[in-house]
Amino acid sequence: MSLTKDQQLEYISHLVGECKKCDLYKTATNSVPGHGNSNAKIVFIGEAPGAQEDQQGLPFVGNSGKLLDKLLSTISVPRTDVFICNILKHRPPENRDPLPNEIKVCTPYLKAQLKIIKPKIIITLGKFAMNYFFPGESISKIRGQVRKIIWQELPLTIIPVYHPSAGLRNGAMLKSLQEDFLSIGKFIKDN
């Protein structure tokens, strides 16, 4: 008997909850494997859980999440239609940047999630998620670009945008995010 997509994702979440491959589980309250629709056409990938996410075990529920919700509403995409997750599944202390080894040991979970969901479109939020697909590239240069790639035998359209937390700190970046979401909305309508 084969498992449903929801059951497969639940199994990944269980593995994440037990994970001790790096030290982040020691300081985290909860793991934040990701949340959303297992049949999503669109997956959003952020950087790592923050304080609110760590408390609730859910991605993008703090201030960045509120901005993400607003941006989603401007393109009439309900959060229940998408899947949202992060590069790291446990919160780094003081929200510091993910370390290379943390990314290395944690991203197999992301890879497994994407292979289960098989989305058509991935929106990367910030540089760490962008660099997972495009190592060495610069977010300020490629944000807003629509890039079609074959990744792990999956045909994907990747659209990198700034991280919502950058939009909360900087008006110019917020404007870029709003513009990029309008392009995302148009791309979704046309595809």
Summarize as ranges the residues that interact with ligand URA (CB under 6 A). 46-50, 53, 59-60, 62, 64, 86
Other beta carbons within 10 angstroms of residue 15's beta carbon come to 15
Tell me the residue nearest to ligand URA as measured from the CB: 46
Per residue in 118-141, is it b (16+ CB within 10 Å) or e — as a string? Answer: ebebbbbbbbbbbbbbbeeeebee
| Nearer residue to ligand URA within complex by CB, 94 or 190 | 94
Query: Do residues 36 and 84 touch, judged by C-beta distance below 8 A?
Result: yes
Residues facing residue 85 across a β-bridge: 45
| Nearer residue to ligand URA within complex by CB, 45 or 121 | 45
**Nearest distance from residue 52's CB to ligand URA, in Å?**
7
| Nearer residue to ligand URA within complex by CB, 104 or 186 | 104
Q: What is the DSSP letter of 75?
A: T
**Nearest distance from residue 85's CB to ligand URA, in Å?**
8
**Nearest distance from residue 107's CB to ligand URA, in Å?**
14
| Nearer residue to ligand URA within complex by CB, 48 or 117 | 48
**Nearest distance from residue 2's CB to ligand URA, in Å?**
30
**Nearest distance from residue 90's CB to ligand URA, in Å?**
11
| Nearer residue to ligand URA within complex by CB, 36 or 49 | 49
Q: Based on the number of CB atoms within 10 Å of its own CB, is 76 exposed (0-12), middle (13-18) or buried (19 or more)?
A: exposed
